Copies of this chain bind each other. A is one copy, B any other.
Amino acid sequence: MRDGTATKNKINRVAMELFAEQGVTETTTKDIASGAGIAEGTIYRHYKSKDELVKKLFLSLYEEQGNYLRDIAASEKDPKQKIADMIARFCQLFAEDKALFTFLLLTQHGQLKEVPDDMVTPVVVLRDMIAQGQGIGIIKQGDPDLMAAMVLGVVVQPAVFHVYGRLTQDYKSFTQDLTEAAWGVLGLT
């Protein structure tokens, strides 16, 4: 194969799934290689180290999520609807790719400090949107960083429980309840 892109994509996908399943440290380069159907050394043609693989994977996926939310935040809709859209999108994403979410979740401890200051992250987008809503008097007052954290918690914690098997229904069926809860937190009536 002249072009190594397919190989790199395979590495990325397999690595993410294994990291999600067993944790980063617990996943060996051998695991990744055999999962991707390649030799162990091949990983190192695409990444300088396992560490770089983890870092780049996290950062690119994390930013991707930020971009999705930013697009929603940029729409013409009112804050209440934007929150609903974001949550709907999150539920769908999670239902479609639980591994992605799990990877992001358990890699953050250790990687979050690597996030460049100017990166568009889900948290920043949410916080800005809340601040905006407060500006026009629709969202109740309070530290927007704290409120963003709380809204995120409302959405993420059930997902965590889902990952751990404590909640088993299709995640999309939670969309309505999660949305209402988020509204409750923000004082959106």
Residues of A within 8 A of B (CB): 23, 25-26, 106, 108-110, 112-113, 123, 142-143, 145-147, 149-150, 152-158, 160-161, 164-167, 169, 174, 177-178, 181, 184-187
Q: How many copies does the complex hold?
A: 4
Bound form: Cα–Cα A110–B149 in Å: 24
A150 touches B146 (CB 8 A): no
B167 touches A146 (CB 8 A): yes
With both chains docked as a complex, state the minimum distance between the C-beta of A80 and any C-beta of chain B, in angstroms: 14
Bound form: Cα–Cα A25–B22 in Å: 12
Bound form: Cα–Cα A168–B150 in Å: 15
11 extra interface residue pairs, beta carbon distance < 8 Å, beyond A146-B158, A184-B185 = A23-B110, A106-B106, A143-B169, A146-B167, A149-B161, A150-B153, A150-B157, A150-B178, A152-B157, A156-B157, A184-B184
